[in-house]
Structure 1
Amino acid sequence: MKKLFCFQLCCICLTAWMIVSCQVKRPDNVIPESQMEDLLYDYHMAQALGDDLPYTENYKRVLYTEAVFRKHSTTEAMFDSSLVWYTRNTDVLAKMYERVSNRLRTQRDEINHLIALRDKKPKTTVPGDSVDIWIGQQLNLLTGMPLSNRITFTIPTDSNFKKRDTLVWEVRYQFIEGKPDTAHAAIMAMQIVYENDSMISHTKRILDSGVQRIRLQSDTLGLIKEVNGFIHYPTEKSVRTLLVDRISLMRYHCTDTLSAAAKDSLQADSIQTQGKGSSGSETQVDSSKTKSQPRLRPEELNKRSNEIRQIKPEQLETEQHIQQEKLQMQRDRRMNRRQQVSGSASNKR
């Protein structure tokens, strides 16, 4: 047993020695890998800042680079000699630059997000048939006071917006001190402006806590130019707090077969037009000259219909969601009418 244990221990020590000996030995005058990674990150940031300078301020590029070397307590000569050694060891340099690239990419995304929040404009939206394009805050408190009585947004479009897009704005409202009267109800409105300067909009009065939605779509107005909207909570004598959260603005691409149906109808109209004579009366077609079409069995008819239109799962889910939104809007309208009737009746009393 002792011999076996000694043999295993020797094998382990030999394996560890081989691993250590196979590793690349870094000279003492070369900057360590962790420090070199931070140095490369700051160096490339300084180079990017220098590239954006105007011609009259090119001298600042050297100052940016010297500031990086002072930050890491090194010199340009040490940096260059270390970079030569890392260039000869491409595996180490490739892994190090991969980490540096990830850090630069993350920093770029954070800067773009801050710029979008500052300018109240979103970054380029994500492509897809069902995408949430809301970039504002998810939690807001409205008190009716002049500085906290409104939420507004304006979203310009980009290449990911398509014709006949549907936009659904959903917000959850919570009246903390009880629901307000009809004169001080919150107002929710959304508007779509198209490239031909046409507009469609919808406005809702919010009297109860719960989730409210606005859905807008146009089949004939073309491409969308921008989407804007607001939530306004009017001032009351006593301060009432309205909590607004769970905000989403869903964009749905149209995936139905309306365009295909339009093409089919145009082809049918052209065929019907060709069947008319020059005087406008329809020409008689000799049935004996027409080729007899074989009758199809029900199985073949079903197969052809399935080949004509194959509904994708995501398309079916989108259409079902749109139908649910239509039903919800109808219920909301009926509920608002009932509340208006009951409110007017109580005022008369």
Structure 2
Amino acid sequence: MKKFFRIQLCCVFLTALLMVGCEVKKPDSVIPESQMEDLLYDYHMAQALGENLPYDENYKRVLYTEAVFKKHGTTEAAFDSSLVWYTRHTEIMAKMYERVSKRLRTQRDEINHLIALRDKKPQITPPGDSINIWFGRQLNVLTGMPLNNRMTFTIPADSNFKKRDTLLWEMRYLFIEGKPDTAHAAIMAMQIVYENDSTISKVKRIFDSGMQHIKLYSDTLGAIKEVKGFVYYPADKKPRTLLTDKIRLMRYHCTDTLSSAAKDSLQTDSINAHKGDSVKTKTGMPADSAKVHPRLRPEELNKRSDEIRQIKPEQIETEERIQQERLQLQQDRRTHRRQQVGTSNRQRN
């Protein structure tokens, strides 16, 4: 029994020796890994600050770097020699820099968020479809007093905005003193401004607590210049409190296919097919057989008809709404021209 115990003890001892032997031996002159990670983080921050200095203040770059070494109680020579040792041990260096990069990204996002709050606009909206592009505070308190009766936002368009985007602005309202009367209801409004200075907007009066939203379709007026909105809480005889939270501004890219395009394509194919059959040369062959579309078989026509019928109702509704807005815009322009002509005629008389 004692012999067996001795064998087990020897095995444990040998295993411990092997593990110690496999570990990377670090010279005493090398900065420890945890301290080196903090040093690299501050060093890269100092380098980034130095790159944005004007030409006549380049001398501050050296001061920033020296301040980092002084903070960590080391020298530039010790830092360089330690960096050489870590560079030779790539696995340790890679893991350490991965943690440093993560900290730098977090710091960058926090700085960008503070800049967005200061300028009241985001640096750039997130890419993709079905994205929440709201950048402001999630909780707002409005009292109806002159200096605290509204919240506003302006988001300039960037490369992540597309034509015919849909924007949905929603939030939760909570009237602390109860439901307001008609004269003191909150007003929620959103507007899309295009590059050609055309605008579309929607205004909504809020009487009840709960989730409320405004949806705008950017339709086909062109590229978006900016999106603006506000919530206005008018003053009452006595101060009232309105809370807004759970705020989102969702942007949806349009991915539908115009139904009119499908119909026009079908009509064009049918016309070309009839032209190809009716136009013959003296030899009895089509005039240009390479460009003539063949006659569609009945099953192909039925398949195309089914494709047209499968168009979603919301797509048809969207196209009808766009057409109505186009007609309304044309009518407004004609009315404006008539008013200008009438004004000029009155001035002449």
Q: Same fold (TM over 0.5)?
A: yes
- Are the counterparts in 1 of residues 273 and 295 from structure 2 also a CA contact under 8 Å? no
In structure 1, C-alpha distance between the alignment counterparts of 2:103 and 2:297, rounded to whole Å: 67
Say whether residues 1:265 and 2:273 are aligned partners: no
Aligned to 2:83: 83
Spell out, residue by residue over 1:19-46, the C-alpha distance to the aligned partner (whole angstroms, 9 max, x if none): 1111111111111111111111111111
In structure 1, C-alpha distance between the alignment counterparts of 2:65 and 2:295, rounded to whole Å: 84
3-state DSSP class of the match of 1:200?
A: strand
CA deviation after TM superposition for structure 1 residue 193, in Å? 0.3
Aligned to 1:329: none
The residue correspondences of 1:185-264 to structure 2 (distance < 5 A) are: 185-258=185-258, 261-262=260-261
CA deviation after TM superposition for structure 1 residue 63, in Å? 0.8
In structure 2, C-alpha distance between the alignment counterparts of 1:100 and 1:141, rounded to whole Å: 38
* Identity across matched positions, percent: 68
Q: Decide whether aligned partners of structure 1 residues 15 and 92 sit closer, same or farther in structure 2, where only a CA change above 3 A counts.
A: same
In structure 1, C-alpha distance between the alignment counterparts of 2:173 and 2:65, rounded to whole Å: 52
In structure 1, C-alpha distance between the alignment counterparts of 2:266 and 2:295, rounded to whole Å: 21
In structure 1, C-alpha distance between the alignment counterparts of 2:285 and 2:180, rounded to whole Å: 77
CA deviation after TM superposition for structure 1 residue 286, in Å? 8.2
- Are the counterparts in 1 of residues 193 and 200 from structure 2 also a CA contact under 8 Å? yes
In structure 2, C-alpha distance between the alignment counterparts of 1:70 and 1:88, rounded to whole Å: 26
The one-letter code matched in structure 2 to 1:29 is: S
Structure 2 gap ranges (5+): 287-293, 322-349
CA deviation after TM superposition for structure 1 residue 255, in Å? 1.3
Aligned to 2:330: none
The one-letter code matched in structure 2 to 1:60 is: K
- Are the counterparts in 1 of residues 192 and 218 from structure 2 also a CA contact under 8 Å? no
- Are the counterparts in 1 of residues 163 and 224 from structure 2 also a CA contact under 8 Å? yes
Q: Decide whether aligned partners of structure 1 residues 55 and 267 sit closer, same or farther in structure 2, where only a CA change above 3 A counts.
A: farther
In structure 2, C-alpha distance between the alignment counterparts of 1:263 and 1:158, rounded to whole Å: 31
The residue correspondences of 1:107-118 to structure 2 (distance < 5 A) are: 107-118=107-118
Q: Decide whether aligned partners of structure 1 residues 117 and 2 sit closer, same or farther in structure 2, where only a CA change above 3 A counts.
A: farther
Aligned to 1:8: 8
CA deviation after TM superposition for structure 1 residue 209, in Å? 1.5
Spell out, residue by residue over 1:215-266, the C-alpha distance to the aligned partner (whole angstroms, 9 max, x if none): 11132201111000100001111111111111111111111111x7426526
Q: Decide whether aligned partners of structure 1 residues 99 and 286 sit closer, same or farther in structure 2, where only a CA change above 3 A counts.
A: closer
In structure 2, C-alpha distance between the alignment counterparts of 1:182 and 1:304, rounded to whole Å: 51
In structure 1, C-alpha distance between the alignment counterparts of 2:60 and 2:279, rounded to whole Å: 88
Q: Which moved more, 1:235-244 or 1:119-128?
A: 119-128
The one-letter code matched in structure 2 to 1:262 is: A
Aligned to 1:30: 30
Aligned to 2:133: 133
In structure 1, C-alpha distance between the alignment counterparts of 2:92 and 2:52, rounded to whole Å: 30
Spell out, residue by residue over 1:131-161, the C-alpha distance to the aligned partner (whole angstroms, 9 max, x if none): 1111111111111111211010001111111
Aligned to 1:146: 146
The one-letter code matched in structure 1 to 2:140 is: N
Spell out, residue by residue over 1:47-86, the C-alpha distance to the aligned partner (whole angstroms, 9 max, x if none): 1111111111111111111111110111112112222222
In structure 2, C-alpha distance between the alignment counterparts of 1:293 and 1:241, rounded to whole Å: 68
Q: Decide whether aligned partners of structure 1 residues 292 and 227 sit closer, same or farther in structure 2, where only a CA change above 3 A counts.
A: closer
Q: Decide whether aligned partners of structure 1 residues 15 and 310 sit closer, same or farther in structure 2, where only a CA change above 3 A counts.
A: farther
In structure 2, C-alpha distance between the alignment counterparts of 1:125 and 1:40, rounded to whole Å: 30
The residue correspondences of 1:265-284 to structure 2 (distance < 5 A) are: 265=264, 268=267
Aligned to 1:64: 64
Structural RMSD (CA): 3.4
Aligned to 2:328: none
Aligned to 1:347: none
Q: Decide whether aligned partners of structure 1 residues 185 and 304 sit closer, same or farther in structure 2, where only a CA change above 3 A counts.
A: closer
Say whether residues 1:176 and 2:176 are aligned partners: yes
Q: Decide whether aligned partners of structure 1 residues 9 and 227 sit closer, same or farther in structure 2, where only a CA change above 3 A counts.
A: same
3-state DSSP class of the match of 2:248?
A: strand
3-state DSSP class of the match of 2:82?
A: helix
3-state DSSP class of the match of 2:27?
A: coil
Aligned to 1:296: 299
Q: TM-score of the superposition, structure 2-length normalised?
A: 0.78
The one-letter code matched in structure 2 to 1:296 is: E
In structure 1, C-alpha distance between the alignment counterparts of 2:218 and 2:43, rounded to whole Å: 51
Q: Decide whether aligned partners of structure 1 residues 226 and 211 sit closer, same or farther in structure 2, where only a CA change above 3 A counts.
A: same
3-state DSSP class of the match of 1:225?
A: strand
Q: Which moved more, 1:96-105 or 1:61-70?
A: 96-105
What is the number of residues matched between the two proteins? 308
In structure 2, C-alpha distance between the alignment counterparts of 1:112 and 1:267, rounded to whole Å: 51
In structure 2, C-alpha distance between the alignment counterparts of 1:183 and 1:34, rounded to whole Å: 63
In structure 1, C-alpha distance between the alignment counterparts of 2:242 and 2:212, rounded to whole Å: 14
Q: TM-score of the superposition, structure 1-length normalised?
A: 0.78
3-state DSSP class of the match of 1:296?
A: helix
The one-letter code matched in structure 1 to 2:182 is: T
In structure 2, C-alpha distance between the alignment counterparts of 1:243 and 1:24, rounded to whole Å: 59
Structure 1 runs of 4+ aligned residues shifted over 6 Å read: 273-276, 286-292, 308-311
